[in-house]
A = this chain, B = another copy of it.
Amino acid sequence: MSLPFDVLADPTRRRMLELLLERPRLVGEIAHDLELSQPRVSKHLRVLRDGGLVTVRAEAQRRWYQIRTEPLADLDAWLAPYRRLWTEHLDQLERHLETMPDTPEEQ
C-alpha cells in the first residue's frame, strides 16, 4: 500500500482532483478551468495516474480523466490510528501529558 502523500503534496494536483471529484474531465477542460497550460496539466495528470489517483478513457483524441478512490481509501486507512486521538478519547492524550515530568515550556 503505497500512500499518495507525494502525489497530493502538490496543490495544483489537489485542485485538479477537486475538479475530478465532480465528474470526469478532459485535459483541456481542466487547463481552462484552472487556468493552467496544457503541458502542465498533462504532466500533473501523468503523476496522478502513476499514483493510481486517476484513470483515463480515450475518446478519439480526447482523454477523459476520472478519479480513482483506492489510494484515497489507503490514506484514510493510514489516518485511522491517529484519528482516535481527537475523536474517541480526547482526554486520554491529556491524561498522558499529565504523566510527563513538569517542566517549563519552550517557545
B-facing mask of A78-92, CB < 8 A → 1, else 0?
010111011000000
Q: A56-B107, A58-B105, A107-B56 are in contact. Are A72 and B83 (CB under 8 A)?
A: yes
Any B CB within 8 A of the CB of A67: yes
In the complex the two chains form, is A66's CB within 8 Å of B97's CB?
yes
Chain copies in the assembled complex? 2
In the complex the two chains form, is B106's CB within 8 Å of A58's CB?
yes
Number of interface residues of A (CB under 8 A): 41
In the complex the two chains form, is A59's CB within 8 Å of B103's CB?
yes
In the complex the two chains form, is B86's CB within 8 Å of A79's CB?
no
In the complex the two chains form, is A100's CB within 8 Å of B56's CB?
no
**Residues of B with C-beta under 8 A to A69:** 82, 85-86, 93
In the complex the two chains form, is A58's CB within 8 Å of B21's CB?
no
Q: Which residue of B lies closest to A78 (CB)?
A: B14
How far, in angstroms, from A64 to B17 measured CA to CA in the complex? 38
* A–B pairs, 9, beta carbons within 8 Å: A57-B103, A57-B105, A57-B106, A60-B103, A72-B79, A72-B83, A72-B85, A76-B83, A79-B79
